[in-house]
């Protein structure tokens, strides 16, 4: 496939698509319920503003967190000036929505009311706020017991201005970077992504008029920009200049993505290019047509086909390598020191760190790679359950550069993922339960 074909297909697959209809319907029902109480108006879906990635039009399919401001009537402002005011107004919003959705999980969470819809696996974060004359909003904060200012209109305007200047490439790149973070378990919020993309275009005009036939160079240069960013605790958001917290370092994974971009560009025009770009952006990149002579079955499954993916938390896995008569060894330590992983080893993959709050579900994928796995028709790759809590037991079998992935699922959404490479010198992986 040509470069333009790959990126055209990628961007088409990332579109929010039919989800927009469900979002609009839920949004309007929420606002109507609130306007009935706060304004005594039936069927009124006004006085709201979609913010966040959805409001900036940089969201992609699978978006799970939908941020909305409900504009409060200005004449009730004095009713909520006390220290208890922020909690009272949030509880009022919560109670209105509980009456509308009695079977839905709805709760107050510091500055918003979270409405978790299980039927379509997304949640609204409803933020009641008073609008100021300059277009900013004052929203309640139960922790500070007061009202704070936010400027989402400035962020929306800055996104649009940059997007117009770059021939829509600002939003194109922001969507692709969301695909990268979801495919590679990068913990980055949407506002941080858009701020960094905005910063990239502020320091170069090279891609202001770029078309998809040069998007390979654009994403390469963006990842180079990203990997060279200094460590920071926060950035100033595009447009509003409000602080955006950096939850975790993104530079190491940006460096890996940069190197994969170089590999993909080297393979331009070959089927291998599609596979390399898939490693960067995930399954939204189409695979080239397989050869008719392929001898192995395509048994690999993809978590994206089973659950929405929206990475907002982190998980880290390791593997304990054991053999009778030998001391257990960490696979990550073996990879660091270059120690070979050989035959007849028991492999215990387990979670060593996870920021996702309980309860959650864990699933795994073990993928064998290489000519031997293909010859034996044993590439595996199915999404499977844990063998025991947060653990997957496997056994080495034959040579290849194999991969094990871990997925943490919360409220029907994959919110964290990690992978560990398993470069076995003369074996592959098989389940301990396999015959």
Residues 178-214: tens digit of each pLDDT: 999 999 999 999 999 999 999 999 999 999 999 999 9
Q: In this predicted model, what pLDDT tens digit does every residue of 122-167 receive, in sequence order?
A: 799 999 999 999 999 999 999 999 999 999 999 999 999 999 999 9
CATH of the domain at 66: 3.30.460.10
Task: Say yes or no: 145 and 201 in one domain.
Answer: no
In this prediction, residue 385 carries a pLDDT of 95
| Confidence check: pLDDT of 398 > 60 | no
Residue 260 burial (10 A CB sphere; 0-12, 13-18, 19+): buried
Task: Say yes or no: 232 and 318 in one domain.
Answer: no
3 state DSSP class of 301? coil
Indicate whether 287 belongs to any domain.
Answer: no
Considering only 62-71, 177-186, 277-286, 373-382, which range has the smallest mean pLDDT? 373-382
Question: Could you tell me the CA-to-CA distances from 142 to 92, 247, 396, 404 in Å, in that order?
Answer: 13, 22, 53, 42
Task: Say yes or no: 98 and 218 in one domain.
Answer: no
Task: Say yes or no: 321 and 408 in one domain.
Answer: yes
Q: pLDDT-based confidence at 376, cuts 50/70/90?
A: low
Adjacency order of strands within the sheet including 346-354: 329-330, 315-322, 346-354, 391-396, 429-431
In this prediction, residue 13 carries a pLDDT of 96
Task: Say yes or no: 222 and 253 in one domain.
Answer: yes
State how far the Cα of 24 lies from the Cα of 29, in Å rounded to an integer.
9
In this prediction, residue 292 carries a pLDDT of 42
pTM higher than 0.85: yes
State how far the Cα of 243 lies from the Cα of 241, in Å rounded to an integer.
6
Indicate whether 180 belongs to any domain.
Answer: yes
In this prediction, residue 422 carries a pLDDT of 80
Q: pLDDT-based confidence at 434, cuts 50/70/90?
A: very low
Pick the last residue of a domain from 237, 262, 287.
262
In this prediction, residue 137 carries a pLDDT of 98
Pick the last residue of a domain from 117, 150, 183.
150
| Confidence check: pLDDT of 374 > 70 | no
Q: Indicate the helix (H) or strand (E) that contains 237.
A: none
Tokens linked to 245: 């917290």
State the average pLDDT over residues 315-320.
94
Reference 114, options 154, 64, 157, 156; nearest CA is: 64
Task: Say yes or no: 248 and 189 in one domain.
Answer: yes
Task: Say yes or no: 131 and 208 in one domain.
Answer: no
| Confidence check: pLDDT of 29 > 60 | yes
Q: In this predicted model, what pLDDT tens digit does every residue of 33-70 receive, in sequence order?
A: 999 999 999 999 999 999 999 999 999 998 888 999 99
Q: pLDDT-based confidence at 336, cuts 50/70/90?
A: confident
* Highest mean pLDDT (candidates 301-310, 356-365, 394-403): 356-365
Indicate whether 278 belongs to any domain.
Answer: no
Task: Say yes or no: 171 and 138 in one domain.
Answer: no
Domain extent, residue 229, equals: 163-262
In sequence order, what E strands does 279-399 have?
315-322, 329-330, 346-354, 361-367, 380-385, 391-396
Indicate whether 408 belongs to any domain.
Answer: yes
Q: What's the chain's average pLDDT?
A: 90
Q: In this predicted model, what pLDDT tens digit does every residue of 97-116 receive, in sequence order?
A: 999 999 999 999 999 999 99
Task: Say yes or no: 43 and 104 in one domain.
Answer: yes
Question: Could you tell me the CA-to-CA distances from 387 to 10, 83, 345, 357, 394 in Å, in that order?
Answer: 35, 50, 17, 21, 9
Task: Say yes or no: 315 and 358 in one domain.
Answer: yes
Tokens linked to 67: 């941020």
Indicate whether 2 belongs to any domain.
Answer: no
Task: Say yes or no: 235 and 258 in one domain.
Answer: yes
Higher per-residue confidence, 422 vs 349: 349
| Confidence check: pLDDT of 268 > 80 | yes
Pick the last residue of a domain from 150, 182, 217.
150
Residue 21: CB atoms within 10 A of its CB come to 10
| Confidence check: pLDDT of 283 > 60 | yes
Indicate whether 125 belongs to any domain.
Answer: yes
State the average pLDDT over residues 252-262.
98
Considering only 75-84, 155-164, 378-387, which range has the smallest mean pLDDT? 378-387
Indicate whether 290 belongs to any domain.
Answer: no
- Total domains in the chain come to 3
In this prediction, residue 295 carries a pLDDT of 45
- Check if the beta carbon of residue 254 is closer than 8 Å to that of residue 226: yes
| Confidence check: pLDDT of 425 > 80 | no
Task: Say yes or no: 349 and 238 in one domain.
Answer: no
Indicate whether 188 belongs to any domain.
Answer: yes
Listed in sequence order, the residues at least 6 apart from 330 whose beta carbon sits closer than 8 Å to its beta carbon are 318, 319, 320, 321
In this prediction, residue 435 carries a pLDDT of 31
Q: For a pLDDT cut of 90, what percent of the chain falls above it?
A: 76
């Amino acid at each position: 496939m040509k470069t333009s074909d790959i990126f055209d297909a990628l961007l088409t697959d990332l579109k929010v698509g039919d989800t927009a209809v469900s979002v609009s319907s839920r949004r309007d029902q929420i606002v109507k319920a609130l306007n009935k109480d706060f304004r005594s108006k039936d069927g009124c879906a006004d006085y709201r503003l979609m913010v966040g990635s959805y409001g900036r039009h940089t969201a992609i399919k699978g978006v799970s967190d939908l941020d909305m401001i409900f504009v409060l009537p200005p004449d009730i402002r004095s009713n909520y000036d006390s220290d208890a005011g922020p909690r009272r107004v949030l509880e009022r919003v919560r109670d209105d929505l509980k009456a509308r959705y009695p079977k839905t999980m709805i709760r107050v969470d510091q500055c918003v009311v979270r409405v978790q819809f299980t039927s379509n696996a997304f949640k609204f974060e409803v933020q009641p706020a008073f609008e100021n004359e300059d277009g900013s909003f004052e929203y309640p904060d139960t922790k500070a017991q007061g009202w704070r200012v936010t400027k989402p209109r400035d962020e929306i305007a800055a996104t649009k201005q940059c997007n117009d200047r770059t021939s829509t490439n600002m939003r194109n790149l922001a969507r692709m970077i969301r695909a990268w973070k979801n495919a590679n378990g990068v913990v980055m919020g949407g506002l941080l992504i858009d701020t960094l993309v905005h910063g990239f275009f502020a320091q170069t005009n090279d891609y202001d008029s770029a078309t998809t036939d040069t998007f390979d160079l654009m994403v390469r240069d963006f990842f180079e920009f990203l990997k060279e960013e200094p460590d920071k605790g926060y950035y100033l958001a595009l447009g509003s200049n409000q602080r955006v917290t950096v939850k975790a370092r993104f530079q190491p994974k940006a460096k890996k993505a940069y190197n994969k971009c170089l590999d993909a560009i080297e393979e331009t025009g070959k089927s291998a290019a599609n596979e390399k770009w898939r490693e960067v952006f995930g399954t939204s990149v189409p695979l080239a047509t397989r050869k008719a002579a392929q001898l192995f079955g395509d048994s690999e499954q993809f978590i994206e086909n089973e659950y929405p993916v929206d990475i907002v938390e982190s998980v880290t896995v390791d593997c304990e390598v054991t053999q009778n008569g030998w001391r257990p060894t960490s696979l990550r330590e073996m990879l660091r020191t270059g120690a070979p992983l050989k035959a007849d080893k028991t492999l215990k993959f387990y979670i060593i760190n996870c920021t996702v709050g309980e309860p959650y579900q864990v699933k795994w994928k073990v993928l064998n790679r290489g000519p031997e796995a293909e010859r034996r028709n044993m590439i595996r790759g199915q999404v499977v359950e844990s063998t025991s809590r947060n653990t997957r037991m496997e056994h080495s079998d034959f040579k290849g550069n194999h991969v094990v992935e871990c997925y943490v699922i919360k409220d029907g959404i994959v919110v964290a993922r990690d992978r560990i490479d398993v470069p076995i010198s003369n074996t592959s992986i098989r389940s301990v339960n396999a015959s």
